[in-house]
Structure 1
Amino acid sequence: MKELSQERAPIYEALERFNKMRVVPFDVPGHKRGRGNPELTRLLGESCIRLDVNSMKPLDNLCHPVSVIREAEDLAAEAFHASHAFLMVGGTTSAVQSMILSATRRGEKIILPRNVHRSVMGAMVLNGAIPVYVNPEGNERLGIPLGMSVEAVKKAIQENPDAKAVFVNNPTYYGICSDLRAIVELAHANHMLCLVDEAHGTHFYFSDKLPLSAMDAGADMAAVSMHKSGGSLTQSSLLLTGPAMQEGHVRQIINLTQTTSGSYLLLSSLDISRRNLALRGKEAFERVIELAEYARKEINQIGGYYAYSRELINGDSIYDFDVTKLSVNTLDVGLAGIEVYDLLRDEYDIQIEFGDLGNILAYLSIGDRSREIERLVSALSEIRRRFGREKGGLMKQEYIDPRVAVSPQDAFYAEKESLPLMETAGRICSEFVMCYPPGIPILAPGEEITEDILHYIVYAKEKGCSMTGPEDAAIERLNVLKGV
């Protein structure tokens, strides 16, 4: 086998070689290296548009890689401690769905927390798997769901010994990690696979000061958002697999849904970003940790805000905490998280990752600098002074236990009817309702609609949360199962 060197970037190098050739394009894309679309060339730049090319022998093929893409996959696997790494151009949504489609079939059970990304539910709609939810504990002060306790996972496994896999978030959007190694060992002891949504944990592989990564915990598959904390282009991701997974089978599953026209801009960004992290990631994330800890200290000194961290660790449902996640509770300032989110953008030209009913998340990574941190801290201080009010009347974001009545697939494809939102209590939902980001469904197909859920949706809409999912974009009506 060819010796690997993390200083290589084989896809990028192949594109550089190709760019020096005078190849006449009688293939797609139709802009023909930008000549057919001058406005697009001006927007993206000539060097970028010239590298927007199609698969060909010198550049390999994403569906069946044998040369430069294959070498890039091998390098990524080495850098991320995996048996194999697949380059994904459909985002981590595609990677998560490929994990579930690889591990389960119609009618088979998968054990998972309810606070998963919509891509998990989407995968179950596609293949007919049955969710067995482990209801996460909640933090009363923050109003957020936590990780899965080991005992709760053990109970779910005992009650569902025929389940095929256990699914874990590592970390949650807020930075909270479960005891991943213990859950992996539990799953394997019961002949189940362990699948990990590591969308927000790319950096775990490059620092011993951060929580344990999925591959180092022995997980069978992990979906990693390189474009989040890893620095690649939006929509580029990695799917990592352990030794128990058959590479050929997983690739067949990926090829069911992933494009046959993989973007070389995305692929080369994965290649270059992997090289950057492999060579400089440890040092880079040391700096990110320092910035986050400094920001947390400064924000907590403002008063009212609570930028939480490792003090939450309880050894189980909060087994560890990702200190690079600058999660801040806003309720004691008298403002919902989404209100602070809007104020930061509209009044201070600061775009943070998301705001929910009680929290905001400022996403810190390798591109951040001290001056931006100072600007964020200053803006939060001013928001408290200018817009802060009494806490009374604010609703916490609370975890609402789902009542699963029908499988997600059966509900999504069942005969349905549209009803006014407030007339749907007691009915079975046939579509998704979620705030995005983070994209965790409030309702998923097959779940009973309750009064608590309806009040939550109405309140979130009033506060300005970006609600997505239903056919009715205004979310004044919901689709429910007909006659159920």
Structure 2
Amino acid sequence: MSTKSKGVLQMTTLSQDRAPILEALKQFKRMRVVPFDVPGHKRGKGSPELTEFLGEKCMTVDVNSMKPLDNLCHPVSVIKEAEELAADAFGARHAFFMVNGTTSAVQAMVLSACKRGEKIILPRNVHRSVINALIIGGAVPVYVNPMMDQRLGIALGMSLADVKRAIEENPDAKAVLVNNPTYYGICSNIREITKLAHAHGMLLLADEAHGTHFYFGKNLPVAAMAAGADMASVSMHKSGGSLTQSSFLLVGERVHEGYVRQVINLTQTTSGSYLLLSSLDISRKNLAINGEQIFDKVAFLAEYAREEINEIGDYYAYSRELINGDTIFDFDITKLSVNTLDLGLAGIEVYDILRDEYDIQVEFGDIGNILAYISVGDRERDLERLVSALSEIRRRYKRDRAGMLRHEYISPKVVATPQDAFYADKESLPIGESAGRICSEFVMCYPPGIPILAPGEQITREILDYIVYAKEKGCSLTGPEDMDIERINVLKGV
């Protein structure tokens, strides 16, 4: 059987209509095994309320690793076969099943590529999981500050010229990391960045938390593996339909998969959930067989909603018209990203109104945008309800936009490495008195989880104004030890 993943054609005898983990679990259920192992609920009998809530079918397959079901840390049978099918479907040399979320996939990717003191070139508008990996492993970031879209107030992709300059100035860097795409749907020129990285002996890593569908849909941006990337973290649960917290880590020919598995096993659980594993297996099968049709529908729904929202007035649901061939090399048309600034409302305010007054939950709202995540389970009537609600919000809440902040991203001044700053001696200050000091913790709006401040960065008055504004607008700020974000930890004596 031949399978095709965004331009990567592989001749193989693997059959994508199989789901080995699912098949093994079904066989296990038929065996009626008496459990004297963990988990302690013993197929649900020990926790009636939980079984009533989740269902007996769910509880009977919440099981531990055993010979018939293989072992995630060292797969030799059904999980190994499922990994081979996933690699085939995604056009990778190997695929790892990840059950600690895409966070663990991103961290394993960075930790595999870079050791302590080694450099990695990356955009600053990365998810906190990337910077967490730098704290854990001690790699040194070389940030490529992205350009800004002044109208939308969002960070864009990396300019090819900026990446080239960073590589030439840091020839000892071990890897380049690319967001493919950003939360908003913006894509850098990953194919050319990959060529640049490889020409200088560097690995290309892709955070594809929001790009699962690139591997299966038509007329979408190029997927990382098809672009020649060496590793990609793919959040299958976001647009691929698997259970929350389940993801894939894909690797290519230039990466030693045995070493990557060792790195994964440093942090990933030894008690892999078979609910999550089977959801990855089943969802991979579904996308391999039906993905093109599924994402045709998703793209249609997103475009339909975009057109309707732009007819309302004051909202701007943006798409491929933004493409400039460089910092916006391509755009993910399945992303329904909507700018709200002309309405006189911050994105987070629209987000709150949609949830509190219309029972509509969008993915996130920030200073100037909302994102409605459209995927395999959406229906046209759901989009109609969203459009109708946005129209009513404009009629009821529109106001003058004077005094609104425009920018979602502020370029940082990096003074120390994330690891050095995070573990250094620190002191706590009232946040309003911290300007000029060096931050030793994170501050971010979640979602999307892109740090406003990261360990090792200088706190500026502009950043403090942004934090105050975000709090006033109702953004969910996370990161510091002080849960109220009234105080912040800074490097002692610096």
- TM-score of the alignment, normalized to the shorter chain, above 0.5: yes
Residue pair 1:356, 1:397 contacting (<8 A) in 2 also: no
Q: What SS does the aligned partner of 1:64 have?
A: coil
Counterpart AA for 2:61: L
SS at match of 2:194: helix
Which residue pairs with 1:291 in the alignment? 301
C-alpha distance after superposition, 1:324-366 (max 9, x if no partner) = 0000000101100000000000000000000000000000001
The amino acid across from 2:194 in the alignment is V
Counterpart in the other structure of 2:50: 40
Q: State which of 149, 159, 164 in structure 2 corresponds to 1:139.
A: 149
Q: Secondary structure at the match of 1:215?
A: coil
Alpha-carbon distance in 1 for matches of 2:107, 2:128: 10
Structure 2 residue 184 is matched with structure 1 residue 165: no
Aligned pairs (5 A) from 1:135-284: 135-284=145-294
Matched with 1:300 is 310
Indicate whether 1:364 and 2:349 are aligned.
Answer: no
How far off is 1:396 after superposition? 1.2
Say whether the 8 Å CA contact 2:309–2:387 is kept in structure 1.
yes
1:6 is matched with 16
| Partners of 1:399 and 1:48 in 2: CA distance | 42
Q: Which of 60, 79, 83 in structure 2 is aligned with 1:69?
A: 79
Distance in 2 (alpha carbons) for counterparts of 1:452 and 1:390: 23
State the shift of 1:3 in Å: 3.5
The match for 1:464 is: 474
Q: Does 1:96 align with 2:106?
A: yes
1:348-363 matches, cutoff 5 A? 348-363=358-373
Distance of 1:22 and 1:401 partners within structure 2: 59
1:47-62 aligned within 5 A = 47-62=57-72
Amino acid at match of 2:242: S
In the alignment, the residues of structure 2 paired with residue 77 and residue 158 of structure 1 have an alpha-carbon distance, to the nearest angstrom, of 33
- Which sections of structure 2, spanning at least 5 residues, go unmatched? 1-10
Measure how far apart 1:370 and its partner are. 0.4
Post-superposition Cα deviations, 1:122-181, rounded to whole Å, max 9, x if no partner, equal 000001000000010100000000000100000000110110000000000000000000
Give the deviation of 1:391 after TM superposition.
1.3
CA RMSD of the aligned region, Å?
Answer: 0.9
Mapped partners of 2:384, 2:409: distance in 1: 33
Counterpart Cα distance in 2 of 1:6 and 1:83: 16
How big is each residue's C-alpha offset from its partner over 1:379-419, in whole Å with a ceiling of 9 and x where there is no partner? Answer: 00000001111111111124211111111001101111100
Query: What residue is the counterpart of 1:344 in the other structure?
Result: 354
Q: 1:79 and 1:374 mapped to 2: Cα distance? A: 33
Q: Is contact 2:409–2:452 with CA below 8 Å preserved after alignment?
A: no
The one of 115, 123, 127 equivalent to 2:125 is 115
1:309-348 matches, within 5 Å, as 309-348=319-358
The answer on 1:21 being equivalent to 2:31 is yes
Q: Which runs of 5 or more residues in structure 1 are unaligned?
A: none
Partner SS, residue 216 of structure 1: coil
Paired letter, 1:9 = A
In 1, the alpha carbon distance for the partners of 2:194 and 2:40 equals 47
Q: Of the candidates 475, 479, 484, which is equivalent to residue 489 of structure 2? A: 479
1:50 and 1:363, CA in 2 relative to 1: closer, same or farther beyond 3 A?
A: same
| Distance across 1 between alignment mates of 2:420 and 2:100 | 25
Mean CA deviation greater in 19-28 or 343-352: 19-28
Q: Distance in 2 between the 1:437 and 1:334 partners?
A: 21
**Hey, what does 2:3 align to over in structure 1?**
none
Aligned partner of 2:6 in structure 1 is none
Question: Displaced runs of 4+ in structure 1, greater than 3 A?
Answer: none
The whole-number CA distance in structure 1 between the counterparts of 2:347 and 2:81 is 44
Asked if 2 retains the 8 angstrom alpha-carbon contact of 1:344 and 1:351, the reply is: yes
Structure 1 residues 304-343: Cα deviation after superposition (integer angstroms, max 9, x where no partner) = 0000000000000000000000000001011000000000
| Counterparts of 2:61 and 2:174, CA distance in 1 | 42
Q: Which residue does 1:418 correspond to in 2?
A: 428
**Cα shift at 1:182:** 0.2
Give the residue type in structure 2 aligned to 1:76. Answer: A
SS at match of 1:214: coil
Contact 1:431/1:444, CA 8 A, preserved across alignment: yes
3-state SS of the aligned residue for 2:328?
coil
Q: Which amino acid aligns with 1:344?
A: L
Q: What displacement does 1:2 show? A: 9.5
Post-superposition offset of 1:4: 1.3
Helix, strand or coil at the partner of 1:265: helix
Selected match of 1:454 from 451, 456, 464:
464
Paired position in structure 2 for 1:85: 95
| Separation (CA, whole Å) in 1 of partners of 2:251 and 2:346 | 39
1:325 touches 1:364 (CA, 8 Å); kept in 2? yes
Instruction: Report the residue type matching 2:28 in the other structure.
Output: F
**Is 1:170–1:214's contact at 8 Å kept on the other side of the alignment?**
yes
**How far apart, CA to CA, are the structure 2 residues paired with 1:405 and 1:335?**
35
| Distance in 2 of aligned mates of 1:26 and 1:244 | 43
Shift of 1:207: 1.7
Describe the superposition over 1:417-448 as per-residue Cα deviations: whole angstroms up to 9, x where unpaired.
10000111111100000000000000000111
Q: How far, CA to CA, are the matches of 2:172 and 2:38 in structure 1? A: 48
CA deviations 1:67-98 (Å, max 9, x no partner) are 00000000000000000000000000000000
Distance in 1, Cα, partners of 2:341 & 2:371: 14
- Output the CA distance in 1 between the equivalents of 2:38 and 2:332: 43
> TM-score under structure 2 normalisation?
0.97
SS in 1 for 2:242: coil
Partner of 1:390: 400
- Contact map agreement 2:218 2:295 (CA 8 A) in 1: no
